[in-house]
């Protein structure tokens, strides 16, 4: 079992390390910014105090013209501790916090080639949202 609690400065090193290991890009300053008070940055901790995973999100209003919704910015689970409900537990706590802020929708953006994370959000009941993401490489 894991315990879910808000992330603290002392978690940043483990968070950065787990993320860098999984994504190949080290971005400690980005994770530092997630500790901002308006954001929800949660960690799942094993009973031995090790980092099992984390999730980050925030309620944003009128982003891209959309009324307020809870946005999930990131989620990562230690590969050794997957398939045990850690991600779902983090998601549930984040969504409960979004609801406390009065929003009724949760939203995220996913790399469409990342089948693992797409499947995870699908399994949480998420479906295609109202926006289409567009993109262009600048000359």
Partner 1 sequence: MKLQTATRLGLYATLELARQPDRTLSAADLAERFGVSSHHLAKVLRTLSAAGLVQGGRGAAGGYRFTGNRRRTTLMDIVALFEPAPGQRAKEPGEETDIGGALQRVLTEIDEIAEATLRSISLETMLKPAR
Q: Least distance from C-beta 84 to partner 1, angstroms?
A: 13
Question: Residue for token digits 């994770």?
Answer: 31
Shortest Cβ distance from residue 119 to partner 1 (Å)? 5
Query: Smallest gap, in angstroms, from Cβ of residue 33 to partner 1?
Result: 29
In 10 A of CB 120, how many CB atoms? 18
- How far apart (Å, rounded) are the C-alpha atoms in residues 87 and 131? 25
Binding residues for partner 1 (CB under 8 A): 112-113, 115, 118-119, 121-125, 128
For residue 96, with 0-12 CB atoms within 10 Å meaning exposed, 13-18 middle and 19 or more buried, which class applies?
exposed
Kindly state the smallest distance separating residue 123's Cβ from partner 1, in Å: 5
Between 15 and 86, name the residue whose CB sits nearer to partner 1.
86
Q: Nearer Cβ to partner 1, position 36 or 128?
A: 128
Q: Which is nearer to partner 1, 48 or 112 (CB)?
A: 112
Query: Which residue from 38, 48, 36, 47 is spatially nearest to 9, judged by alpha carbons?
Result: 36
Taking the least distance from each CB to partner 1, the nearer of 6 and 130 is: 130
Asked whether the beta carbons of 51 and 79 are under 8 A apart, the reply is: no
And the tokens for 38? 């308006």
């Amino acid at each position: 079992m894991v315990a879910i609690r808000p992330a603290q400065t002392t978690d940043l090193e483990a968070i950065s390390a787990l993320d860098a290991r999984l994504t190949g890009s080290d971005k400690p300053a980005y994770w530092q910014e997630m500790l901002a008070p308006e954001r929800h940055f949660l960690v799942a901790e094993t009973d031995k105090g090790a980092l099992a995973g984390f999730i980050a999100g925030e309620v944003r209003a009128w982003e891209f013209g959309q009324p307020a919704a809870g946005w999930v910015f990131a989620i990562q689970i230690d590969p050794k501790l997957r398939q045990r409900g850690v991600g779902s537990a983090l998601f549930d706590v984040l969504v409960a916090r979004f609801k406390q802020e009065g929003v009724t929708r949760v939203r995220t953006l996913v790399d469409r080639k990342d089948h693992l994370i797409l499947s995870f959000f699908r399994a949480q009941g998420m479906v295609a949202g109202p926006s289409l993401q567009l993109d262009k490489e600048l000359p």
